[in-house]
Amino acid sequence: MDDIKEQLLARARELGFNACRVARCGAPPHGVEFGRWLEEGNAGEMGWMARSKERRMDPEQVLPGGRSVIVLGMNYWQGKEEESVGRGKFARYAWGKDYHGLIETRLRELDGWLTGLGGRQKCYVDTGPVLERDFAALAGMGWHGKSTMLISQELGTWFFLAEIMTTLEMPEDEAARDRCGSCTRCMTACPTGAIDAPYHLDARKCISYLTIELKGSIPLELRPLIGDRIYGCDDCLTACPWNRFAQASHEAAFQAGEGTRLTMVELLGLSEEGFRRVFKGSPVKRVKRRGLLRNVCVALGNVGGAGDLAALEKASRDEEELVREHAIWAMERIRERQEGNL
C-alpha cells in the first residue's frame, strides 16, 4: 500500500490540498470527553451534535469495515487584513466562496480513484459525524491547541479539514505532539472567556456560535463583548504564534467577496433580494438576512456613532422582529455613549 499512498499524496497536491495524511480508522481518542462536553450543555443549541454522538464516537457506524481515515488540509489564509472605517469583521474563512462545495468536488475525485482500487468511502467536509480534529491529530496534521482548534506547524491555524474514511488499509502517519507549551495567548485573546480552561470551549459564549449558530436573540450580557464582529471570530486563531509560518493561499475562491467590503450601514440596508445577491455562494448565506442584520445591529451598538442612528432607526421597523429588537438595543447603546453613560 506504500505505492498507493504515494499516489494519493500526489493526487491530493494536484487537487490543491496543502496537506494529506493518514490515521487508523478507530475510536477517536477524545470520544469520552466529547460526550461529557455535550452533557454539560456546552454545545448550546447545536442539537445536531448530540443526535450524532454515537456515530461520532464509533466510526464503524459510519463506514462498516473502515480501515483508514485520510485527512486533508486546505490553506485559506489570504494575507494581512485591510482595516476600513465602518466595516464589521467577518471570520477569515467566510471572506470568499463557501469551502464546502469546493472541497467536496475535489473529494469526489479522490473517492472515485479509491473506489477504482476496490475501496468503499465516506467523505466529509466539516459536516459529517466525525471528530475530525482527533483524526487530524492522530494523522500528524497538527495538534489540539488550548483553544480546541487544530494547529499545524506548517500552516498555523488557517486551514480547512476534510476526511475520507475508506475500507482500504494504508500506512498510518505519526501522530502530532502538543507544541503549545505554556502559551495561553488564545485563552487571553478570547473576548468572552469562552475558552474557560485549556482545551475546553463553552460554545454558548463563543462569538462564532453567537453570530452564526444561535438563531434567536443574543444574550444581553454578551452583546457588548462582540465588538465589531458580525460573522464569526478569529481572535483565538490570530493570537496563535504558530501563524508566523502561515503562507497566503493560492486558492482564488477564498479571496474576499463583495459582502465583506461593504460597510455595516450598507449591510443594514440590504433587502432580502440584495442579501441573496451579495452573499450568493458565500458561507454567510447560512445565517440568512435576519441573522446577519441582527449581528450588524449589535456591532453598531458597540462601535457606532450618531451617523449610524438613521440606518438603525430604519432597521427598528424591519419586517423581522429579530432585527427590530437588536436595532432598538443598538440605538439605546449609542445614545447612552453620547450621553457619557457607558
What is the radius of gyration, based on Cα positions, of the chain? Answer: 21
Residues 79 and 92: their CA atoms lie apart, in Å, by: 10
Mean pLDDT of 121-150: 95
The two counts, helices (H) then strands (E), for the chain are: 14, 8
CB 113 within 8 Å of CB 163: no
The pLDDT value recorded for residue 82 is 66
Q: Which three cell numbers stand for residue 184?
A: 495561553
Active site residues: 126
Mean pLDDT of 103-128: 95
Q: Note the pLDDT tens digit of each residue in 266-295.
A: 999 999 999 999 999 999 999 999 999 999
Is the predicted pLDDT of residue 83 greater than 80, yes or no?
no
- The mean pLDDT value of the chain amounts to 95
Is the predicted pLDDT of residue 63 greater than 70, yes or no?
yes
Q: What percent of the chain has pLDDT over 90?
A: 89
- Closest Cα partner for 290 from 314, 257, 315? 315
Q: Note the pLDDT tens digit of each residue in 180-201.
A: 999 999 999 999 999 999 999 9
Is the predicted pLDDT of residue 142 greater than 90, yes or no?
yes
Residues 144 and 288: their CA atoms lie apart, in Å, by: 31
Q: What percent of the chain has pLDDT over 70?
A: 98
Is the predicted pLDDT of residue 1 greater than 80, yes or no?
no
The pLDDT value recorded for residue 77 is 93
If you ran DSSP here, which 8-state letter would residue 156 be given?
Answer: B
Range from 36-40, 82-86, 251-255 carrying the lowest mean pLDDT: 82-86
The pLDDT value recorded for residue 246 is 87
Is the predicted pLDDT of residue 342 greater than 70, yes or no?
no
Q: pLDDT band for position 316 (50/70/90)?
A: very high
